[in-house]
Structure 1
Amino acid sequence: YIWWNLSSNTGAKYDHMIWDFNIKKRFQWKKKKAYVFLSVHNLFNGSQYTFIDRKNPRRWVEMGFRIDF
């Protein structure tokens, strides 16, 4: 989201696109399901922010699992 009506002195930076990567694998046995997932946020370590004091986080990774009973 870009705030076009803001003052130009906020230090905004809009020259990068932020990319995420998500992958999920489902496992099933009997009536139970399990999922393993991996997410990489800000894949190319880009910078895009509206205010210079509120920069977006650098690249970060999360992974985990979920079980449905």
Structure 2
Amino acid sequence: MNTARSTGDRAPQQDEEGHLAALGLVLLMLGATLVRYRRHEPAYMAVDLAYALLAAFVTWGRFGPDPFTG
């Protein structure tokens, strides 16, 4: 009897948590960008915005019309 699970076999709850984590990271990084804007720190603001854009890409990949997760 083979009890090993393949790497692609995930519970639906785990997939939903990944979607919400990606969305939460986008919101967190947008908040960080706003704080950097208020403190007049443009270099750090650009870095936070870049992270927000990368997280948005991951979120789009998870929620989009053709999700990466299959």
Q: What TM-score do you get using the length of structure 1 for normalisation?
A: 0.28
Question: Structure 1 or 2: larger strand share?
Answer: 1
TM-score (norm 2): 0.28
Larger Rg: 1
